[in-house]
Amino acid sequence: MTETLVQGVIDALSGSFGKEAIVFIISMIPILELRGALLVAGPILGVPVAKAIPLCVIGNIIPVPFILLLITPIFKWLKGTKTFKPMVTKLENKAMSKSDQIEKYEFWGLVLFVGIPLPGTGAWTGSLIAALLGIKFKKAFPAVVIGICMATIIMWFISYVLLGGVQVLG
């Protein structure tokens, strides 16, 4: 599914956007985020690591404050509608099913949840869980950013060293 989504995004944006813009946009998309963007940047698009990393980090950070600050009131409003209530409830339940370590360890749990690139983790889901748990912005935002940096190091190694040959500085 993720490969199809990545290819669909690349196909949709190619011709209209350059490789760097595609990497930046992918890093902002839920599910794909920085992890998918770095995999696309290195082995697929050949974007040098020195360009790819800042694009991916900034792109992945951009949605975080909006999720942390606005998702709870938006979900509350959507749950007041007949049409969107089932979808929002399903999203909340899915996110909260992964919330144990964040709830228990808060800051460091959120760092690890965002930073270890496993399916269903990342900045979007981590920010959603933090918002639903009521973790304050001043605690949640730095934790998510540290997690994004941690994921960057892991995904750089996977994308540029293991899959793309050793490329340390682009």
Say if residues 60 and 124 touch (Cβ distance below 8 Å).
no
Has residue 167 got a pLDDT over 50?
no
Say if residues 49 and 168 touch (Cβ distance below 8 Å).
yes
The confidence score (pLDDT) of residue 1 equals 59
Which tens digit of pLDDT belongs to each residue from 33-65? 999 999 999 888 999 999 999 999 999 999 999
| Separation of alpha carbons 131 and 127, rounded Å | 6
> What does residue 93 show for φ and ψ, rounded to 5 degrees?
-65, -40
| Separation of alpha carbons 145 and 147, rounded Å | 5
Say if residues 170 and 49 touch (Cβ distance below 8 Å).
yes
Has residue 168 got a pLDDT over 80?
no
* Whole-prediction pTM: 0.89
